């Protein structure tokens, strides 16, 4: 007997949220977009003409949807996360860096029966990192290089007076822990946060961020030293046309993570 489609709610219809919503409306077996949270409710009818998608608030999203996808600025993270976890939902955050300061939400999810599922996003090899973490990982390093436009407006740059204007070569703008990087570049380094959660934690994961005017893609290079393996991985993601701070792979990864909730065959750990 076929189960009814799992209801999905999305908080935020920016570049990533809107792309995920469109794919769900087009049709993903076993999933149904039920509701969204958006600043202007009129956008729902404009984006999804003829579709039965409700505009609601954060509490309504958590109450009515089995899966809640967060795709909003970091300042609104808890407004989405807390009711979803309180209602025992599957919570899928895309602002992964916010999880590094949310141990209380993880603990609360353990009591309410909620599940927090982090999509791979623009990263690769998380399965290998998670496997290595079952043994001993000595070091985890991620180097992120982005076109200057993809880093503009980051709080860390403004606080430290770092200008990206007129660069004629690569400039290292940050070197430190993944936790520090997630706070200073909240819209840019969710990949480092995901890596740290899969591996040895945000304080031991080292992050470097470079502004590079000579590239057109978002480049992430990861090096892991463990007692089971040494591996280096690199991915070059194409920036989103709507928002250069994120990549085109991120919404596709989110759809893949949603699909894994309902598919009878799941590949990877």
pLDDT digit string (tens) for the chain, length 269 residues? 457 889 999 999 999 999 999 999 999 999 999 999 999 988 898 899 989 999 999 999 999 999 999 999 999 999 999 999 999 999 999 999 999 999 999 999 999 999 999 998 878 889 999 999 999 999 999 999 999 999 999 999 999 999 999 999 999 999 999 999 999 999 888 999 999 999 999 999 999 999 999 999 999 999 999 999 999 999 999 988 888 778 899 999 999 999 999 999 888 76
All structural domains of the chain, each given as residue ranges with its CATH number in brackets, are 6-120+249-260 (3.40.50.720), 126-237 (3.30.360.10)
What is the model's pTM? 0.92
- The pairs formed by 247-250 with CB atoms below 8 angstroms and a separation of 24 or more are 247/122, 247/218, 249/121, 249/122, 250/16, 250/94, 250/119, 250/121, 250/122
- The label of the residue with tokens 């978002």 reads 218
Count of C-beta atoms within a 10 Å radius of residue 151: 28
Q: How far apart are CA 4 and CA 99, in angstroms?
A: 31
Query: Rg of the chain over CA atoms, in angstroms?
Result: 19
H or E element at residue 184:
helix 178-184
For this structure, is 220 an active site residue? yes
């Amino acid at each position: 007997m076929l189960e009814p489609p799992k209801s999905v709610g999305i908080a935020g219809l920016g570049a990533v949220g809107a792309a995920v919503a469109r794919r769900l409306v087009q049709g993903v077996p076993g999933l149904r977009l039920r509701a969204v949270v958006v600043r202007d409710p009129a956008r729902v009818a404009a984006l999804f003409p003829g579709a039965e998608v409700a505009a609601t608030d954060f509490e309504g999203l958590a109450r009515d949807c089995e899966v809640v996808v967060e795709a909003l600025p970091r300042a609104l993270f808890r407004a989405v996360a807390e009711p979803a976890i309180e209602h025992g939902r599957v919570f899928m955050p895309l602002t992964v860096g916010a999880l590094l300061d949310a141990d209380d939400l993880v603990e609360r999810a353990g009591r309410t029966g909620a599940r927090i599922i982090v999509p791979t996003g623009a990263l690769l090899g998380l399965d290998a990192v998670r496997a290595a973490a079952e043994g001993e990982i000595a070091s985890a390093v991620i180097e992120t290089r982005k076109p200057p436009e993809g880093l503009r407006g980051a709080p860390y740059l403004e606080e430290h007076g770092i200008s990206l204007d007129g660069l004629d070569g690569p400039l290292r703008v940050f070197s430190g822990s993944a936790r520090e990087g997630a706070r200073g570049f909240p819209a840019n380094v969710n990949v480092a946060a995901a890596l740290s959660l899969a591996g040895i934690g945000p304080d031991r994961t080292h992050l470097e961020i470079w502004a590079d005017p000579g590239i057109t893609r978002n480049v992430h290079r990861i090096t892991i030293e463990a007692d089971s393996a040494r591996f280096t991985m690199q991915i070059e993601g194409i920036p989103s046309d709507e928002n250069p701070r994120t990549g085109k792979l991120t919404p596709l990864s989110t759809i893949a993570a949603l699909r894994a909730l309902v598919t009878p065959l799941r590949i990877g750990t």
